[in-house]
């Protein structure tokens, strides 16, 4: 590819500057790795070269190994395309060479990028460069020697933290830890690095080979203790991900048998992990997330996003205050509008609590919190709306109320203003029906808590203009959300797809399966909690209200569970009042409440769906499938109707909106791994046994019959029915 290369320039000072060029992040693609080997070899051969400086073009050192290669390996199953970088390039050609190399780091050095710098004999960086080994987020471990060199440079505990949490540090911290030798301005970077390289060559500065360092590793018994604690933690935090334990095994190998043996084991395990399902899922999520930024007929029209500096949020309840928090944290001025001063003060208090909570959890510095809160103003009328760039309505789910608000904001706001609603269920065409600005009406569906959850579902109608969609996508990115553009239908993409999730859980419960068994199995599948605990958390009001909407919109595939009304009658309201399926005592984990059993029994009698009056007998796997296959079934309808641009958007939406495990790649990717045929056959069998709730959709049936993946692009006939 043009512009993808490694260059070398030798100066009069006898320093060869080797530069990686592969925009935008200087990923270490296979030709780049070949280029590095070639240039290093040349530098070693040439008599006019005494020392080397390695750097990246365009203000970034390198974002690491080219993740596209992982994708190729996943498609072909052939791991032999991965070059031997770790031993051949980093150990033999760079670290053990006769001439010293200094890494000149700018912007970022991540993954393989940071590993290359650790194979150099010193590292000079500009301020605020990001340094990290995030490989575990891709289902692998560092593969260019990072598991060995990082602990030797920064100490075992810190290295383990950086790798297992995939948490980058800034160059300033790197300097304190010993990863960085000096921090200089970007103007000085090359000059200082060249001089440093010469100083090493002429023995004025130490010639450090980090693989051979041992002093920061501590004693063997200390190291074993640190690794033991880390193993226990990883068991808790990443139970289904093999790369965490594997990373610790490889680190241990190096601690016991020396860095070089560690490097060899690392290379072997790395190749095994690349082929794991976890890596397939996580690499898919990496690219799927980036694909959401590309929306046909929106981002490819050459439009420029317009600046959004002032936003009015209408409604200071839980959602409105969360949304306002996200905005002010990103330096966007917010007018929070409420109907009276009592509600307004409550909304402002919620926002303050959100911001102070971040400070208490050390996620935000105090001065930044003060700055954010200074970007907020409470108002009781529309008099200051004349220069707002966007309105986000976040009031209760009432069509007449929303319609009234949109008539008012249309009058009060300038003509360029984005008119967004945070509704999660109401048809956007109805919300904007009484205005003449339907091209500016758009859904900005945040997930609760809005200042924490990363997904922003952007809902467009047939009339929403491309400019407005682009503007909202841009705001979404500024406030650090992942915007996914979807079409307008009941529940939009996420709530609609996951509606059958709670439904299926209730169905199983009424077929005689134990409530806590269901929750346990779904948690071990990888969701943060089971459907009943989630219901406790969300409150029962949501279930009852949303349930009715869906029952109306999708008759024939709704299970009317009598249970929640019985729970409410018995004085339970989930986590809100400390009593639901679980008991919630402050400071302790939720405990299953045995006194729920008679209420469930009563509900089972009312529903009366036990086959021949007896509980069904199902395996653990069947339980997980009976809950998730109906979700896949609805995902198929969402795909067929063109509610999302591409199947992978639904994967991202499920991961970021519903916390579906990212290492399973998202709902559609997971379904394709399981196989559409198996899903279809299972649903068909259950529909015959337990009714139409499980009836497979036409889309699923077609894909299963033709042996196609659910994620394969839509056929032309379904594309013509697209809502986007």
Specify the 3-state DSSP secondary structure of 458: strand
Q: Considering only residues 41 through 100, tell me which ones interact with ligand 3HC, judged by CB under 6 A.
A: 63-68
DSSP, res 307: P
DSSP symbols for 465-477? -HHHHHHHHHHHH
Q: How far apart are CA 718 and CA 706, in angstroms?
A: 16
The two beta strands, 482-487 and 5-10, are unpaired
CB distance 127 to 154 below 8 Å: no
Binding mask 175-204 for ligand 3HC (x = CB under 6 A): ------------------------------
Instruction: Quote the least distance from Cβ 132 to ligand 3HC, whole Å.
Output: 8
Token digits of residue 121: 């004999």
Instruction: Quote the least distance from Cβ 642 to ligand 3HC, whole Å.
Output: 22
CB distance 437 to 419 below 8 Å: yes
User: Does an H or E element contain 402, and which?
Assistant: helix 399-412
Token digits of residue 126: 């500009």
The two beta strands, 591-592 and 582-583, are antiparallel
CB distance 336 to 378 below 8 Å: yes
Count residues binding ligand 3HC (CB under 6 A).
22
CB distance 43 to 14 below 8 Å: no
Catalytic pick from 95, 135, 338, 393? 135
Burial of 167 from C-beta contacts in 10 A (0-12 / 13-18 / 19+): exposed
Applying CB under 6 A, does 151 fall inside the site for ligand 3HC? no
Q: Binder to ligand 3HC among 95, 115, 253, 536 (CB under 6 A)?
A: 115
Q: How far apart are CA 264 and CA 145, in angstroms?
A: 9
Applying CB under 6 A, does 111 fall inside the site for ligand 3HC? yes
Instruction: Quote the least distance from Cβ 311 to ligand 3HC, whole Å.
Output: 23
Is-catalytic flag, 410? no
Choose between 108 and 312: whose C-beta lies nearer to ligand 3HC. Answer: 108
Instruction: Quote the least distance from Cβ 62 to ligand 3HC, whole Å.
Output: 8
Binding mask 548-587 for ligand 3HC (x = CB under 6 A): ----------------------------------------
Applying CB under 6 A, does 112 fall inside the site for ligand 3HC? yes
- The closest of 686, 445, 396, 659 to 559, measured between CA atoms, is 686
Applying CB under 6 A, does 135 fall inside the site for ligand 3HC? yes
The two beta strands, 51-56 and 15-21, are parallel
Specify the 3-state DSSP secondary structure of 203: coil
Instruction: Quote the least distance from Cβ 82 to ligand 3HC, whole Å.
Output: 8
Instruction: Quote the least distance from Cβ 694 to ligand 3HC, whole Å.
Output: 38
Residue spans of alpha helices (H) in 563-619:
563-569, 597-607
Choose between 111 and 665: whose C-beta lies nearer to ligand 3HC. Answer: 111
Q: Binder to ligand 3HC among 1, 2, 24, 361 (CB under 6 A)?
A: 24
Choose between 64 and 320: whose C-beta lies nearer to ligand 3HC. Answer: 64
Binding mask 507-546 for ligand 3HC (x = CB under 6 A): ----------------------------------------
Nearest residue to ligand 3HC by CB is: 111
CB distance 355 to 369 below 8 Å: yes
Name the one range near ligand 3HC by CB under 6 A: 20-28, 223-231, 359-367, 559-567. Answer: 20-28
Q: Binder to ligand 3HC among 6, 18, 25, 298 (CB under 6 A)?
A: 25
Is-catalytic flag, 202? no
- The closest of 572, 611, 608 to 590, measured between CA atoms, is 572
Q: Considering only residues 281 through 340, tell me which ones interact with ligand 3HC, judged by CB under 6 A.
A: 290
Applying CB under 6 A, does 110 fall inside the site for ligand 3HC? yes
User: Does an H or E element contain 105, and which?
Assistant: strand 101-105
Applying CB under 6 A, does 630 fall inside the site for ligand 3HC? no
Choose between 63 and 178: whose C-beta lies nearer to ligand 3HC. Answer: 63
Catalytic pick from 9, 71, 95, 115? 115
Choose between 280 and 506: whose C-beta lies nearer to ligand 3HC. Answer: 280
Choose between 26 and 495: whose C-beta lies nearer to ligand 3HC. Answer: 26
The two beta strands, 455-460 and 169-170, are unpaired
Instruction: Quote the least distance from Cβ 453 to ligand 3HC, whole Å.
Output: 19
CB distance 223 to 50 below 8 Å: no
Q: How far apart are CA 487 and CA 653, in angstroms?
A: 13
Q: Which residues pair with 444 in a beta bridge?
A: 458
Buried b / exposed e over 324-351, threshold 16 CB at 10 Å, is bbbbbbeebbbbbbbeeeebbeebbebb
- Which spans of this chain sit near ligand 3HC (rule: CB under 6 A)? 24-25, 27, 63-68, 108, 110-112, 115, 134-135, 138, 142-144, 146, 290
Q: Which residues are catalytic?
A: 115, 135
């Amino acid at each position: 590819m043009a512009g993808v290369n490694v260059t070398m320039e030798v100066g009069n000072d006898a320093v060869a500057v080797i530069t990686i060029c592969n925009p935008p992040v200087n990923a270490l693609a296979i030709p780049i790795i070949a280029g590095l080997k070639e240039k290093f070899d040349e530098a070693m051969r040439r008599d006019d070269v005494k020392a080397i400086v390695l750097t990246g073009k365009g203000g970034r050192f390198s974002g690491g190994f080219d993740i596209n290669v992982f994708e190729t390996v996943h498609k072909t199953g052939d791991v032999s395309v991965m070059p031997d970088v770790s031993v051949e390039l980093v150990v033999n050609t760079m670290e053990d060479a006769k001439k010293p190399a200094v890494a000149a780091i700018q912007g970022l050095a991540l993954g393989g990028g940071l590993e290359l710098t650790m194979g150099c004999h010193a590292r000079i960086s500009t301020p605020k460069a990001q340094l990290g080994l995030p490989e575990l987020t891709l289902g692998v471990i560092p593969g260019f020697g990072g598991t060995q060199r990082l602990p030797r440079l920064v100490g075992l505990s810190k290295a383990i933290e950086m790798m297992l949490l995939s948490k980058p540090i800034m160059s300033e911290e790197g300097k304190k830890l010993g990863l960085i030798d000096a921090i200089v301005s970007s103007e000085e970077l090359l000059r200082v690095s060249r001089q440093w390289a010469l100083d090493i060559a002429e023995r004025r500065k130490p010639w450090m080979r980090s693989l051979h360092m041992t002093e920061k590793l501590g004693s063997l018994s200390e190291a074993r203790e640190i690794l033991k604690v880390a193993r226990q933690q990883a068991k808790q935090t990443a139970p289904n991900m093999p790369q965490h334990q594997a990373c610790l095994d490889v680190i241990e190998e190096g601690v016991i048998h020396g860095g070089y043996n560690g490097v060899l084991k690392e290379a072997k395990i790395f190749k095994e992990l690349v082929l794991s399902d976890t890596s397939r899922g996580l690499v898919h999520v990496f690219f799927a997330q980036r694909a959401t930024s590309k929306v046909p007929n929106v981002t490819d029209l050459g439009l420029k996003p317009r600046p959004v500096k002032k936003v009015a949020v209408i409604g200071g309840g839980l959602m409105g205050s969360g949304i306002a928090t996200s905005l002010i944290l990103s330096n966007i001025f917010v007018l929070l509008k409420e109907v009276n001063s009592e509600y307004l003060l409550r909304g402002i208090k919620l926002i303050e609590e959100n911001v102070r909570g971040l400070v208490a959890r050390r996620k935000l510095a105090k001065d930044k919190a003060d700055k954010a809160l200074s970007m907020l103003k409470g108002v009781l009328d529309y008099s200051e709306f004349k220069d707002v760039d966007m309105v986000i309505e976040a009031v209760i789910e009432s069509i007449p109320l929303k319609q009234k608000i949109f008539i008012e904001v249309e009058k009060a706001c300038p003509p360029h203003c984005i008119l967004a609603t945070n509704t999660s269920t109401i048809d956007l065409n109805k919300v904007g029906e009484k205005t003449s600005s339907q091209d500016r009406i758009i859904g900005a569906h945040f997930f609760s808590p809005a200042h924490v959850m990363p997904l922003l579902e952007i809902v467009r109608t047939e009339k929403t203009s491309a400019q407005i969609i682009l503007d909202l996508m841009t705001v979404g990115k500024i406030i650090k959300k992942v915007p996914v553009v979807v079409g307008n239908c009941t529940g939009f993409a996420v709530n609609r797809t996951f509606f059958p999730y709670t439904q299926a859980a209730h169905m199983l419960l009424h077929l005689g399966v134990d409530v806590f068994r269901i929750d346990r199995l779904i948690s071990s599948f990888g969701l943060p909690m089971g459907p009943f605990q989630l219901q406790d958390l969300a409150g029962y009001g949501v279930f009852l209200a949303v349930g009715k909407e869906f029952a109306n919109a999708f008759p024939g595939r709704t299970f009317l569970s009598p249970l929640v009304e019985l729970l409410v009658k018995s004085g339970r309201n989930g986590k809100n009042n400390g009593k639901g399926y679980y008991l919630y005592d402050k400071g302790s984990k939720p405990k299953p409440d045995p006194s729920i059993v008679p209420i469930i029994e009563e509900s089972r009698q009312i529903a009366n769906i036990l086959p021949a009056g007896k509980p069904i007998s199902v395996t653990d796997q069947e339980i997980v499938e009976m809950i998730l296959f109906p979700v896949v079934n609805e995902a198929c309808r969402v795909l067929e109707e063109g509610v999302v641009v591409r199947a992978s958007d639904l994967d991202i939406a499920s991961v970021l909106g519903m916390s579906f495990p990212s290492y399973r790649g998202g709902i559609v990717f997971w379904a394709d791994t399981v196989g559409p045929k198996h899903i279809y056959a299972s649903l068909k069998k259950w529909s015959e046994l337990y009714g139409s709730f499980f009836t497979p959709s036409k889309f699923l049936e077609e894909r299963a019959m033709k042996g196609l993946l659910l994620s394969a692009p839509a056929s032309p006939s379904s594309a013509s029915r697209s809502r986007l």
